[in-house]
Structure 1
């Protein structure tokens, strides 16, 4: 999936949204993970997302990617609808394999599939899943809620999703790079792509939450900065990256800050609450660390690295190297899940 620029979406798409509805508490916005609709004294979070790249992990990612966007509102995802559009050479066994992944992912987060659609079409050459996720809560958190003086806490590690996808869909190109043990470790990372537990635990302290997907941690930070009207300053050395992830990404000359990163959660939190939040997450077995701070300035992200610092404007769209590889069609394992 290649996204249109945020500037285009904001300039053209957001002006064509139908009639105004006063029940819509939070509608479309750059970086805002889910719409929020007020129903009596509760808030319903709704989100839809496609998975258009990974074939081998399609069902698993279809649930977790959408679930994460509800959870970043501080609301538990409960109900899902999935549309599957499959190439014409797919058979019933292929559908069963995808549905098995969907079922396993739903069980993991204690959620239900309540509807959807399945078809084969000559319009696609790879399977596509489009998922709608829904949850209801008593309050919600915005992506655009950062305050001056907040710090940015990140859970787990950058590029977990990219690592798992690359060893699944491009395994042949890594045969001479990874040991058997490293293959096993990298393959298992798909089990870490959910941030539902991270987000629900962080909701007590968070001023803002966002899960980085396409474009990685950097894109996620840019969207937080842009939607909040703030400048985020991060130290690249503080962003945790697993050694096996570095080995996998180095084989494709990819940057861990700019590739698929479902599994990590970016949290804005007051500096005085950061230690409590990190302690709570670590008690749950979730790695968490401070990677940067929020200040006033032109909305965007300053990345401080060993070779200096670089400013990225908040409205930039970061190209994702893994998605570009999918678009080339040069996978090593074929197209079926």
Structure 2
């Protein structure tokens, strides 16, 4: 099954193999942490890398936002990007034009500059692959692993923003949805960035994390595991938009278990909760308190979702749909 490497395998094979120790590294590879933080003369440099492989019409825009989201969710303003662009050998100049135009436009929307990278054609690829490294400066790093017992859990926007766009664009025909719903669902891609969300939240947050693969459920569990706490979350408090509910119902998938880019998860002390929500409202960003943080009760950090105890990341429920579609080709 495609998807993220399991946290246990990362702990065994990845996190301990990081080369020479360097005391300027303030936050290095760790479970649930999507960015690194480095002490530098200008303050703290936050760095994150992410690959994405999609159709040319989507890969540039999504690639920029997904890489920059991780930097923003660590408390920094994304400023610089490097881009590695790998293209199928049969690609023409129109493909390169589409991707680079979208990279440029997406970077401009968040005030970031593409400062370098690499491009080449690769025989083994069937569709473009873009890997971006985003860098930004932070006054205060907000880790994934900073949640404290007593904090409230908030979520901005809604569940499955990215997943809704994928369902509409990739599976609209087979789901039999009408054109109006498909258009509205595809437009969710315009809300993928959480840079504004993080700017509004970061001065209040003890932890921030953007849910991606595996959706809100996996994002919450990653936050719990990184912070060594339990999260108690009310499913009914998680915003699921009408378009998302309709598409997920047609596809028989859980909106909390499909790609969640576009939402920001954060933990906030109770004394700062109202001020944080007011700051988000002032920024015209919808948000809700969806749960609380408590001290770990058992051997393993747990996400308690309406009484169900979740201790392992879920497999994103969109992967079987892609596999079924590929099998039918």
> Could you tell me the TM-score, scaled by structure 1's length?
0.92
Cross-structure match for 1:271: 270
- Cα distance, 1:328 vs structure 2: 5.1
- Cα distance, 1:89 vs structure 2: 2.0
- Cα distance, 1:171 vs structure 2: 3.1
- Cα distance, 1:6 vs structure 2: 0.2
1:36 aligns with 2:37: yes
SS of residue paired to 1:134:
strand
Q: Quick check: 1:53–1:326 contact (8 Å CA) kept in 2?
A: no
How many angstroms apart in 1 are the aligned matches of 2:238 and 2:186? 21
Cross-structure match for 2:251: 252
Rate the CA distance shift 1:188–1:169 in 2: closer, same or farther, 3 A: same
Q: Name the count of aligned residue pairs.
A: 325
- Cα distance, 1:184 vs structure 2: 2.1
How many angstroms apart in 1 are the aligned matches of 2:97 and 2:57? 13
Cross-structure match for 2:188: 189
How many angstroms apart in 2 are the aligned matches of 1:273 and 1:230? 20
1:221 aligns with 2:220: yes
Cross-structure match for 1:170: 171
How many angstroms apart in 2 are the aligned matches of 1:270 and 1:172? 45
Counterparts in 2 of 1:135-146, with a 5 A limit? 135-146=136-147
1:132 aligns with 2:130: no
Counterparts in 2 of 1:41-190, with a 5 A limit? 42-53=43-54, 56-174=57-175, 176-177=176-177, 179-190=178-189
- Cα distance, 1:322 vs structure 2: 2.0
- Cα distance, 1:196 vs structure 2: 0.2
SS of residue paired to 1:186:
helix
- Cα distance, 1:102 vs structure 2: 1.1
Cross-structure match for 1:286: 285
1:210 aligns with 2:212: no
How many angstroms apart in 2 are the aligned matches of 1:7 and 1:203? 29
How many angstroms apart in 2 are the aligned matches of 1:86 and 1:64? 20
Aligned CA RMSD, in angstroms, stands at: 1.7
> Deviation string for 1:151-207 (max 9, x for gaps)?
100000000001112222233224x22x33222211111000000010011111000
How many angstroms apart in 2 are the aligned matches of 1:302 and 1:138? 33
- Cα distance, 1:53 vs structure 2: 4.5
- Cα distance, 1:86 vs structure 2: 1.6
Cross-structure match for 1:318: 314
> Deviation string for 1:89-139 (max 9, x for gaps)?
211101111112211211110111111112221221122111100001222
Stretches of 4+ aligned residues off by more than 3 angstroms: 53-56, 323-332
> Deviation string for 1:10-69 (max 9, x for gaps)?
122112111100110100011112000001361000000011346541111100000000
Unaligned segments of structure 2, at least 5 residues: none
Q: Quick check: 1:215–1:258 contact (8 Å CA) kept in 2?
A: yes
